[in-house]
Amino acid sequence: MKNELSAALIRAVSELGIDASSVALDFPENAEHGDFTTNVAMVNAKKLDMNPRVLAEKIVAEFDKNKPSSIKSVSIAGPGFINFVLDVEAVSKNTQEILAGAPTKISDIGQGKKVLVEYSSPNIAKPFTVGHLRSTIIGDSIARILSTLGYSVIRDNHLGDWGTQFGKLLVAIEKWGNLGLIEKGEDPIKKLVDLYVKFHDEVDRLENSNDDKLKSEAAELEKLARAKFQILEAGSDQKIVDAWKICVDISMKEFAKIYQRLGVAFDPKRGDTQIGESFFVTPDKIEPVIEALDSKKLLKKSEGAKVVFFGGDDPKKWKYPPLIIEKSDGASIYATRDLAADLYRLNTYGSVGQNGGQNLTIINEVGAEQSLYFRQLFETEKMLGWFTDSGRVHVSHGLYRFKEGRMSTRKGKIIWLDDILDEAVARASKINAESAEDVAVAAIKFNDLKRDSLQDIVFDWDEMMNMAGDSGPYLQYSCVRAKAVMEKAKGLGIVARIGSGPGEGSTRPKIAQLDLLERYLLRFQSIIEFAGASYKPNIIANYLINLAALFNSFYSQVIIADVKDPEAAYKVAVTQAFAKTMERGLDLLGIKVPKKM
């Protein structure tokens, strides 16, 4: 319907010499203003030296000559908006299509396009932080949205399993721990984190003493850690490599439990990967990067290190600060591993040389604190000719802020994700014990996805669990409620049915709440397309909030399933279409609808 309207509109404006590319169809903010709106008259008025409302009238006059039958009326509003109202036949037809069972793929806009969505990416032997939680929730939703739009999606968990921190951890294990016991004991990951923290505490303690001998011991510890990491990188000592592998194992088991609880999967059968940074440190991965940088003359020596400059030698002309590629001690670094990862991804999923690999888009869902870094990385990859602007995307997220109280972040106190999940489950079981896990996860996910990812989140249990507000549990409950109505209808022998006249089945009731709800259902596909194009799941989340509000107002005003009501079949049909759309929409956010609540 949108395509038909758009074609008719383009035809009309072309008659007036207006460029088709300036035609954009939107949804009116206020659903009562119509089903679609366009600002094409306002956008082109100046160029044509016309008053926008006058131009709008001309466009409407042209449009009326070939008005599609699905459009009931056209009106001009405000400074020159053109609003369209769909005919009820078209509205009913859409509801019917929803009931007929929409395909799993909702649109074709991603057809033939590949996108790698990298998200979660926790660090080995470190806590799975709330930052990683946000990345997991947002990245998983983006991957779901893109695959429903027909993109071929590769999900990648880019594990932080390499870096100088492993030197420190391995020294701490050697000095104060027993890896064999840790591995078999309880909470192994917490023990590893304790050891890592102990290394830092010990260095701090020695450094802050007044004794020069102790101070030099601190320096000695740091030196030892650097040396350990060097040995690990060289791969020359099997015992050290094995110890690192055990740390990886311990962490992966822990992460798997978290993903299980969150309903997030990295499934090799689907083509998903979990490739750690360590995969990209071998010469066959790193050297091609250095060669590529060298051949473009991008590598400059600076204080013993090799760096990439962004805008020549003069700091005043720098677009960004320089990016270090090789340290003087030869240890591999984060940025170089990222370049190697992206080259590997291009070679594996894209086609380098051809179109500069532009048939692949890579999205990194990573916290906003790495924004500058990703700009440097993308700029470098652009200079290398690997990607153009749209080929690299950083979807960044803000922080979690905790109010004072039980979940406060006292200095040095780590927030363990399990504790948050357990608390959420405890609160959700007050709603319904059976569905507590699903409701808890919904509360946490929706609390994140309802806002632009860039925003910080103030952690507020009451807001998250609010059964009457914009929360995950509220949306689940709306859906469960609609399904209960359907059950009741079934019991009464009312079959959902859509017809425009009495002979064809059920008549369409003239109820304002039903009309608004049914018309709002029409937006679903475009909403998903908008969300996909901008990598913003919050567009879907907000649509679902409005959709639930419309359903709940319908539900509270009208008796839906009444055997004596000749329009009941239509009402039940719209209820069912709502439930299906809500369930589908929540699924795109990674939220399950429980059977009971």
* Of the residues 62, 254, 338, 470, which one makes contact with ligand ARG according to CB under 6 A: 338
Nearer Cβ to ligand ARG, position 68 or 367? 367
Query: Going residue by residue from 573 to 592, which x/- string records binding to ligand ARG, judged by CB under 6 A?
Result: --------------------
* Of the residues 34, 139, 160, 532, which one makes contact with ligand ARG according to CB under 6 A: 160
Q: What's the min distance (Å) between Cβ of 126 and ligand ARG?
A: 8
Angle at alpha carbon of residue 445, lines to 441 and 451, rounded to 5°: 160
Nearer Cβ to ligand ARG, position 118 or 470? 118
Nearer Cβ to ligand ARG, position 277 or 515? 277
Cβ atoms 51, 32 nearer than 8 A: no
Nearer Cβ to ligand ARG, position 160 or 473? 160
* Of the residues 366, 384, 517, 589, which one makes contact with ligand ARG according to CB under 6 A: 366
Residue 189's contacts (CB-CB under 8 Å, 6 or more residues apart) are 125, 127, 250, 251, 254
CB atoms < 10 A from the CB of 174, how many? Answer: 15
Cβ atoms 350, 344 nearer than 8 A: no
Q: What's the min distance (Å) between Cβ of 277 and ligand ARG?
A: 8
Nearest to 28 by CA among 72, 65, 99, 81: 81
* Of the residues 158, 285, 345, 397, which one makes contact with ligand ARG according to CB under 6 A: 158
Q: What's the min distance (Å) between Cβ of 122 and ligand ARG?
A: 6
Residue 423's contacts (CB-CB under 8 Å, 6 or more residues apart) are 406, 407, 461
Q: Which amino acid is at 427?
A: R
Q: What's the min distance (Å) between Cβ of 163 and ligand ARG?
A: 9
Residues 45-104 binding ligand ARG (CB under 6 A) are none
Which two three-digit tokens encode residue 457? 């989140």
Show the 3-state SS of 315-384. Answer: HHHCCEEEEEEECCCCCCCHHHHHHHHHHHHHHHHCCCCHHHHCCEEEEEEEEHHHHHHHHHHHHHHHHC
Q: What residue is closest to ligand ARG based on CB?
A: 160
Which two three-digit tokens encode residue 43? 């956008």
* Of the residues 95, 148, 274, 364, which one makes contact with ligand ARG according to CB under 6 A: 364
254 is a contact residue toward ligand ARG (CB under 6 A): no
Laid out side by side, the sheet with 299-302 consists of 299-302, 305-310, 320-326
188 is a contact residue toward ligand ARG (CB under 6 A): no
Nearest to 527 by CA among 597, 481, 588, 484: 588
Which two three-digit tokens encode residue 310? 């962004």
123 is a contact residue toward ligand ARG (CB under 6 A): yes
Using the contact rule CB under 6 A, the part of the chain among 115-123, 206-214, 290-298, 395-403 near ligand ARG is 115-123
Residues 514-573 binding ligand ARG (CB under 6 A) are none
Q: What's the min distance (Å) between Cβ of 364 and ligand ARG?
A: 5
Q: What's the min distance (Å) between Cβ of 416 and ligand ARG?
A: 16
* Of the residues 37, 39, 44, 121, which one makes contact with ligand ARG according to CB under 6 A: 121
Binding site residues, ligand ARG, CB under 6 A: 118, 121, 123, 158, 160, 338, 364, 366
